[in-house]
Structure 1
Amino acid sequence: MDLQSLILVVDDDPDLRKLISGFLGEHGYRVIAAEDAAQMRRMLDEHRPDLVILDVMMPGEDGLSAARRLASEAGPALIMLSALGTDTDRIIGLEIGADDYLAKPCNPRELLARVRAVLRRRQSAGAPSGNLYEFAGWHLDVVRRDLRDPGGTFINLSNGEFSLLRTFVEHPQRVLSRDQLLDYARGRDSEVFDRAIDSQISRLRRKINERTPAELIRTVRNEGYMLLPAVTRL
Structure 2
Amino acid sequence: MTAPLVTILDDEPEIRSILADALEDAGFRTMGFSRATEFEATLKSTTPDVCLVDLGLPDKDGLTLVHRLALELGSAVIIISGRAQVQDRVTGLELGADDYIIKPFDPAEVVARVRARLRKDRPAAPTSSNTARFNGWTAYFDRYVLEDEEGTETTFSHAEGEVLRLFLESPKRLISRAHMQETLGGAAGESFDRAMDVRISRLRTKLREDPKNPRLIKTIYGAGYIFLGDVRWG
What TM bracket, shorter-length normalisation?
Answer: 0.5 to 0.7
Question: RMSD of the alignment, in Å?
Answer: 2.8
Contact 1:3/1:28 (8 A) holds in 2: no
Give the TM-score, by structure 2 length: 0.59
3-state SS of 1:80 partner? strand
Contact 2:16/2:32 (8 A) holds in 1: yes
Contact 1:52/1:76 (8 A) holds in 2: yes
Quote the offset at 1:128 in angstroms. Answer: 5.4
Give the Cα–Cα distance (whole angstroms) in 2 for the partners of residues 228 and 109 of structure 1: 32
Give the Cα–Cα distance (whole angstroms) in 2 for the partners of residues 172 and 139 of structure 1: 8
2:181 maps to what in 1?
Answer: none
Give the Cα–Cα distance (whole angstroms) in 1 for the partners of residues 155 and 94 of structure 2: 36
Give the TM-score, by structure 1 length: 0.59
Give the Cα–Cα distance (whole angstroms) in 2 for the partners of residues 48 and 5 of structure 1: 10
Unpaired runs of at least 5, structure 1: 141-165, 175-207, 218-226
Quote the offset at 1:134 in angstroms. Answer: 3.1
Amino acid in structure 2 at the alignment position of 1:107: D
3-state SS of 2:41 partner? helix
Amino acid in structure 1 at the alignment position of 2:22: F
Give the Cα–Cα distance (whole angstroms) in 2 for the partners of residues 129 and 43 of structure 1: 35
Structure with the greater alpha carbon radius of gyration: 1
Quote the offset at 1:138 in angstroms. Answer: 4.5
- Counterpart check, 1:91 vs 2:108: no
Q: Which has the higher contact order (CA 8 A, sep 6+)?
A: 2
Contact 2:8/2:51 (8 A) holds in 1: yes
Amino acid in structure 1 at the alignment position of 2:106: N
Contact 2:138/2:146 (8 A) holds in 1: no
Identity of aligned residues (%): 34
Contact 2:55/2:62 (8 A) holds in 1: yes
Q: Could you report, residue by residue, the CA deviation over 1:30-64 in whole angstroms, capped at 9, with x for unpaired residues?
A: 11111111111122222211000000011111211
Contact 2:2/2:143 (8 A) holds in 1: no
Unpaired runs of at least 5, structure 2: 169-234
- Counterpart check, 1:103 vs 2:76: no
Distance 1:24 1:3, change over 3 A: farther
Quote the offset at 1:171 in angstroms. Answer: 1.6
2:5 maps to what in 1?
Answer: 6
1:197 maps to what in 2?
Answer: none
Give the Cα–Cα distance (whole angstroms) in 2 for the partners of residues 101 and 55 of structure 1: 10
Contact 1:67/1:97 (8 A) holds in 2: yes
Q: Could you report, residue by residue, the CA deviation over 1:183-220 in whole angstroms, capped at 9, with x for unpaired residues?
A: xxxxxxxxxxxxxxxxxxxxxxxxx9xxx5xx324xxx
What pairs with 1:47-196 in structure 2 (closer than 5 Å)?
A: 47-124=46-123, 129=126, 131=129, 133-134=132-133, 137-138=136-137, 166=140, 170-172=143-145
Amino acid in structure 2 at the alignment position of 1:82: S
Give the Cα–Cα distance (whole angstroms) in 2 for the partners of residues 59 and 135 of structure 1: 46
Amino acid in structure 2 at the alignment position of 1:91: V
3-state SS of 1:75 partner? coil
Give the Cα–Cα distance (whole angstroms) in 1 for the partners of residues 7 and 19 of structure 2: 10
Give the Cα–Cα distance (whole angstroms) in 2 for the partners of residues 51 and 121 of structure 1: 12
1:15 maps to what in 2?
Answer: 14
Amino acid in structure 1 at the alignment position of 2:78: I
3-state SS of 1:102 partner? strand
Contact 2:5/2:50 (8 A) holds in 1: yes
Contact 1:7/1:29 (8 A) holds in 2: yes
